[in-house]
Structure 1
Amino acid sequence: MAKVAINLATGAIQQDELIVGIDLGTTNSLVAYVHPETRQPAAINDLGRGAIVPSVVHFPVDGSSPLIGTEAKDFLLSDPANTIYSVKRLLGKSYRDLGQHAGQLGYKVIDDDSERLVKVRVGERFYSPIELSADILRELRQRAEHALKTPVRRAVITVPAYFNDSQRQATRDAGRLAGLEVLRIVNEPTAAALAYGIGLDPAEEKTVAVYDLGGGTFDISILRLHQGIFEVLSTHGDTWLGGDDMDRAIGEHWVTQAALPPSFRLVPGQRQQLRLAAEMAKRYLSQHDDFTTQLVDGEENVFAVTLTKAEFNGLIAPLVARTIDACRLALSDAKLTTDGQPATAKIDAVLLVGGSTRVPLVYDEVSKFFDQPANRSLDPDEVVALGAAIQADILAGNRRDVLLLDVTPLTLGIETLGGLLDAIIPRNSKIPTKAGRQYTTSVDGQVNLKIGVYQGERDLVSENRKLGEFVLSGIPAMPAGLPKIDVNFFLNADGILRVEAVELRSDTRQQVEIKPQYGLTDEQVEQMLLDSLTNARQDVAARLLIEARTAAEQLLYQVGRFLKKNAAHLEETEVNATNEQADQLRQALAGNDRDLLLKHMDELDELTRPFAERVMNLSIKQAMSGKQIS
């Protein structure tokens, strides 16, 4: 007898396992699905708690399970050091990527190595942005399962169109750690167009602009839709531009104009109070002309702060102007120009996405630039998740008349002589795709060739992001210029890159799937997912302990070399203190406490940084001694 699955929430016969669409947002996250009978996408509202889940994780001081969403958001003021927000901005990024932004967060971001993924310190524990994002995704999955009364194991997750390879990989790994098989990583603007229903009619032909201004990121994408095909002509954006930056501009204005004490910049609790008040002002002034509230410092002193709509518009005007500049560039990249100027008349519709598009100045400036009223008929907070649900429905085989063609947002290439970037796949190339070039050796008898893979738009590789490297070994010894080496890039539908190098005369070959800098292999991630079925946190921690031990051993080696090489420039007290701290790290290596390892690594790094910088400055002075700069 055949078994029939019935969804208890909808009463409908379930033909196949449900695939959900997830918008993992900087400020808020949502999960949506397509109703099996109405065939309409809907955001999932579990137990009436609302469809929107704030992207906030709070770790209680008693060590109990973390709180996610609205419950966690309540602790932003009372316990900011243990409450993590805007983690999406950290995904796939190193500390060097964050730069000045690191100090703007209310919690501590650890700099253990400029090339490795950042970590967040909560008490004596250290978390990667992947783990924190997995907590949010796990909460969304559990809400969906509870509301729909069915297991949820597969999902489509959206990312900003401008996310690079490492950020996409990090998003996929976070989904896996949350117990989800991530079937597709989809660009948010592409999902938004689906939600607006554009392109679902195969006979429809349009060129649309999707303007997506969220809490932490901005994207502008130009899409051409014809015969049921979504073709992304170009994309532009900024992963550090959004509503959070509007809030920061308001806060800085109040610090200056209201003469707030320095504690509102320095003390985490007061800094959060300022940020939340600024966010409240932004929302209020989107519908009113004046805003007033009170702030309280640590000594119970009360400070009244005010803001008018005109002042607010003046503060955010430079931020909105940056988005318009990106729109201009996107039109140019899409070849939508006339006499060198953006041809906005060729745009059939402008779609607004992201909560920050509720700000009237944003709507006015976007409508003015594109010379037509922007479409804001759908809830800007839900539109991306709804589109992801439609894409999930397509992957489930329920919609066979729609095809998505996406693009890679940044140029991919390799390093050549002189430290230059040689582009293999130019930005805005359709994906999936493959491309390659032929190279040769530069030295007689060369048998190994190191291939460095980079992503970015600058000519020098030092100014682009390094994705990885590998060595083609076993090249037959021949005179320089004689070997013929094909380097091929294969970019799949998720924007994940595989690189292959082949020496044609000998058929020597090597290939590698480019991984993010944090070093998780597919096998490790799959094993973490398997372990999550029984004891997720403990088993994931075991693997992270291995990474921490490796990093600790590297740090001890580097510190030892530094002390030996620069002993003449160091004080005896500095050497003794460093050796003592290094011994503590060695002792921690003998144990199994990952957080203790990271703690001692952090302390050793903090201890050695000042005199390492001093020695470096001394070396620069010596190198410049007697030389004249013209």
Structure 2
Amino acid sequence: MAKIGINIATGSLQQAEMIVGIDLGTTNSLVAIIHPESKVPVALKEFNSSSLVPSVVHFDGFGNPEVGEAAKQYLETDPANTIFSAKRLMGKSYRDVKEHADLFTYKVIDDDTESLVKVQVGDKFYSPIDLSSFILKELKERAEHILKTPVNKAVITVPAYFNDAQRQATRDAGKLAGLDVLRIINEPTAASLAYGLGINKYEEKTIAVYDLGGGTFDISILKIANGIFEVLSTNGDTYLGGDDLDRAIVQHWIKKVGIDHNGLKINKILAQSLRLKAEEAKKYLSDHTVFQAELNGDQLSLSRDEFNSLIQPLIDRTIDCCKKAMTDAGLQTNDIDTVVMVGGSTRVPAVKEAVSTFFGKPVNDEVNPDEVVALGAAVQADILAGNNTDFLLLDITPLSLGIETMGGLMDVLIPRNSKIPSRVGRQYTTHKDGQSGMRISVYQGERDLVKDNRKLAEFNLTGIPGMPAGLPKVEVQFLIDADGILVVKAKELRSGVEQSIEVKPQYGLTDQEVEQMLLDSITHAKDDMVTRALVEARTEGEQILGVTEKFIAKNPDLMTKEEMLATANAMQALQLALTMEDKNLIQSKIEELNEITRPFAERAMDQAVGAALKGKTL
């Protein structure tokens, strides 16, 4: 077995193999590296092709995934089996995304629970982690094909506003794709690195990063001092991007030419052709004043002035976000030293002009805005590989730290390679009615089950007031100080009950042991994820059975005999599925039970609302 050299002080891997930078985008994704000879960051592309890989996954009739351009063509012809914008679902529950559910042409499971959202394709259920892993796997294979060398390590970028769960989900997707994710970095930080900002550890700058991608808009205000990037504020709109600029052109042409809206819904090919023509017009008008084309005998034309007035309301929305970000950062526009442009849609002259006017200075757009984030990730990868010593790298944790949750799963709070000092908090709740205590078991390691990791400490949080399951809110906080000492605190937020423990021998492992733990985590990644998904499905199934049982005991008069029988059968089927080793079977039985119980759950809700409103006037 090949030995991997590891520096325990930084946790960074020291070997000659290539570490890549990956921009995992909502619309497109790509891989970049530092060119071994020229030492400049380059985006990987095959001869004459684009560096961009559409973030689209299509499942064929046999359930095999295909990714990128090959999958993109099915967006119109096979929408139910073609998944786009999986990044929007990362770390989210259905409740988080339900107001935008109509934008997804595929089936997002509506179980209205706090658990992570699932996508159903045929009789299989995929998490956003699974879907993102297919994209990352495609990027890994593409990089290996171009570089003719194995690619196992990566730096992956995420939006600055991504929370802990979303970052962890991105790490898990990398792991499932066979990548050791050395660092997750913020997209605006990566864009700044691509421009060489922050490379000089003595410079202090305040930067605005304006990122208008295919489907999302973000503005981030960063402060760089001593090589440390601090996010002062972020704002944006996760449903505004280049696609909306195209849509504005399409709507304009529909009106102008008199195309029937309903006819478009039926004629998917015409709708797709119109959209592609609109995209072509948008790009053409960056360098020309008038666009003209013909489609099905209709003349389509658009001047740059018309285009600018069509998209002005959308540009105004982005500038409103910029104003809010500046207010949140407590800064004036003249406090900003540099404005960096990211995302293909920032090529539109009217966008550049509006941003430049708002900040009162010219914008930085020399680096290809589609590639700038991935190029910055490659700069970070080069630093981790030890090739760029000009840059300050803070001390980092060599292994992940987390606690045990239901089913013996490891819930990571501080991922490996996090900067020290570091503080992270996450909320948990009880699983049994009246539960008065909670055991907090702290583990170190990279595997999904705690039994495969190293136990560091354990303590009990007692004195939780008797409440129904799910009501107590227990916040667990991990704090690693500058000396690498970990303090774990648990506090029940409603009652204020608190308990903490200090864990000193946090790095009491030899280089060989850390090396082995990292190798094991990659070797067993697939099995671990399958086990985790199965345990999570079983936990969810058991909870739903418990809730249904309680509901029936409480409200027998709300159900007909047929409903009672159908529910009993569905519960029995789910109970049986829980004994099997099949996650998809459990998910489908949960879904069937949800479908059967939904009508009388709604009746119970109506009755409760009616009782509460009795005698009150609205």
Scaled by the length of structure 2, the TM-score of the pair is 0.74
CA deviation string 1:187-222 (max 9, x = no partner): 101110111122334554433211111123322222
* Deviations, residues 128-184 of structure 1 (Å, cap 9, x unaligned): 110110111111112222222222221111001111121111111111111111111
**2:326 aligned residue (331, 334, 339):** 331
1:569 maps to which of 551, 558, 580: 558
Following superposition, the deviation at residue 324 of structure 1 comes to: 1.4
Partners in 1 of 2:517 and 2:15 — Cα distance?
32
493, 500, 503: which is aligned to 1:509?
Answer: 500
Matches within 5 A, 1:256-405: 258=258, 260-262=260-262, 279=279, 282-284=282-284, 286=286, 289-290=290-291, 312-336=307-331, 343-403=332-392
| Aligned residues of 1:43 and 1:386 also touching (Cα < 8 A) | yes
How big is each residue's C-alpha offset from its partner over 1:223-269, in whole Å with a ceiling of 9 and x where there is no partner?
A: 33455454443333343433344455566777788564447569988
Instruction: Give the 3-state SS of the residue equivalent to 2:524 in structure 1.
Output: helix
| Counterpart for residue 406 of structure 2 | none
1:352 counterpart SS class: strand
CA distance in 2: counterparts of 1:205 and 1:500, whole angstroms = 35
1:24 match? 24
Q: How many residues align?
A: 528
1:579–1:326 CA distance, 2 compared to 1 (3 A):
same
> Residue in 2 aligned with 1:157?
156
Cα distance change, pair 255–553 in 1 and its aligned pair in 2 (3 A): farther
CA drift of 1:293 comes to 6.8
Shift of 1:282: 4.4
Deviation string, structure 1 residues 61-87 (Cα, Å, up to 9, x no partner): 134x42111111122222221111111
Match of 2:6 in 1: none
Shift of 1:104: 0.7
State the distance in 2 between where 1:253 and 1:613 align.
Answer: 42
Preserved CA contact (<8 Å) 2:437 2:464: no
Distance 1:55 1:131, change over 3 A: same
Letter in 1 for 2:325: A
SS in 1 for 2:36: coil
- State the match for 2:167 in structure 1: 168
- Greater shift, 117-126 or 265-274, is seen at 265-274
How far does residue 320 in structure 1 lie from its aligned partner after superposition?
Answer: 2.5
Instruction: Give the deviation of 1:549 after TM superposition.
Output: 2.7
The aligned residue for residue 195 of structure 1 is 194
SS in 2 for 1:114: coil
Q: Kindly indicate whether the alpha-carbon contact (under 8 Å) linking 2:158 and 2:187 is maintained by their aligned counterparts in 1.
A: yes
How much has 1:32 moved relative to structure 2? 0.8
Confirm whether residue 51 of structure 1 aligns to residue 51 of structure 2.
yes
Q: Which residue matches 2:547?
A: 558
**Measured at CA, do residues 431 and 164 of structure 1 come closer, stay the same or move farther in structure 2, by a change above 3 Å?**
farther
1:386 CA displacement: 0.3
State the 1:354 CA deviation: 0.9
Kindly state the Cα deviation for residue 585 of structure 1 after the two structures are TM-superposed. Answer: 3.3
Residue 79 (structure 1) aligned with residue 78 (structure 2): yes
Q: Any idea what SS the aligned residue of 2:595 has?
A: helix
When structure 1 is superposed on structure 2, of 92-101 and 234-243 the one drifting more is 234-243
CA distance in 1, matches of 2:347, 2:481: 35
Counterpart amino acid of residue 524 in structure 2 = D
Q: What letter matches 2:175 in structure 1? A: R
What is the match of residue 179 of structure 2? 180
**2:595 paired with 1:606:** yes
Instruction: Report what 1:102 is aligned to.
Output: 101
SS class of match (2:222): strand
Displacement of 1:431 in angstroms is 8.0
Preserved contact between residue 549 and residue 589 of structure 1 (Cα < 8 Å): yes
- In 1, Cα distance between equivalents of 2:167 and 2:65: 25
Secondary structure class of the residue paired with 2:223: strand
2-side partners of 1:251 and 1:261: how far apart? 11
Q: Which secondary structure does the structure 2 equivalent of 1:403 belong to?
A: coil
| Distance across 1 between alignment mates of 2:45 and 2:612 | 64
Conservation of the 8 A alpha-carbon contact between 1:155 and 1:184:
yes
Alpha-carbon distance in structure 1 between the residues aligned to 2:82 and 2:62? 14
CA–CA separation in structure 1 for the residues paired with 2:184 and 2:529: 23
| Cα pair 2:487 2:500 within 8 Å, conserved | no
- Provide the identity percentage: 54
Counterparts of 1:234-249 in structure 2, within 5 Å, are 234-247=233-246
Q: Which residue of 457, 461, 469 corresponds with 1:473?
A: 461
Partners of 1:551 and 1:487 in 2: CA distance: 22
Measure, in 2, the Cα distance between the counterparts of 1:305 and 1:580.
59
**1:160–1:218 contact (8 Å) kept in structure 2:** no
Contact 1:250/1:278 (8 A) holds in 2:
yes
Contact 1:107 1:120 in 2 (8 A): yes
Q: Residue 627 of structure 1 aligns with which residue?
A: 616
The AA in structure 1 aligned to 2:119 is: V
User: Match for 1:38: what amino acid?
Assistant: S
What is the CA-CA distance between 1:352 and the residue it aligns to? Answer: 0.3
CA distance in 1, matches of 2:62, 2:339: 49
Matching residue's letter, 1:53: V
Rounded to whole Å, the distance in 2 between the matches of 1:564 and 1:201 is 67
- 2:605 corresponds in structure 1 to 616
Q: Structure 1 residues 75, 619: closer, same or farther in 2, change over 3 A?
A: same
Aligned to 1:460: none
**Contact kept? 2:30, 2:51, Cα under 8 Å:** yes
Q: 1:85 to 1:526 in 2, by over 3 A?
A: farther
Q: How many Å apart are 1:274 and its aligned residue?
A: 7.0
* Equivalent pair of 1:81/1:268 in contact (CA under 8 Å): no
**Equivalent residue number for residue 480 of structure 1:** none
**Any conservation in 2 of the 1:160–1:217 contact (CA below 8 Å)?**
no
| 1:28-70 alpha-carbon deviations (Å, 9 max, x no partner) | 111111122321111112455432111111111134x421111
Letter in 2 for 1:345: N
Q: TM-score, structure 1 length as denominator?
A: 0.73
Deviation track 1:99-146 (CA, whole Å, cap 9, x = no partner) reads: 221111121111224201111111111111101101111111122222
1:584-621, CA deviations, whole angstroms, 9 ceiling, x for partnerless residues?
43444454443233223223323332332222012111
Q: What is the alpha-carbon root mean square deviation over aligned residues?
A: 4.2
CA 333–111 in structure 1, closer or farther in 2 if over 3 Å, else same: same
Whether the 8 Å contact between 1:228 and 1:401 is mirrored in structure 2 is no
- The answer to whether the 8 Å contact 1:499/1:511 transfers is yes
Q: Does 1:549 align with 2:538?
A: yes
- Provide structure 2 residue ranges, at least 5 long, that are not aligned to the other structure: 4-13, 395-418, 426-434, 441-457, 466-473, 504-515
Instruction: Check the 8 A contact 1:291/1:306 in 2, yes or no.
Output: yes
User: Per the alignment, do residues 118 and 308 of structure 1 end up closer, same or farther by CA in structure 2, a change over 3 Å counting?
Assistant: farther
Are 1:162 and 1:239, in contact at CA under 8 Å, matched by a contact in 2?
A: no
CA contact (8 A) 2:24 2:30 kept: yes
**Structure 1 pair 253–81 and aligned structure 2 pair: CA distance change class (3 A):** farther
8 Å Cα contact 1:229-1:402 kept in structure 2:
no
- Look up the equivalent residue of 1:130 and give its one-letter code: I
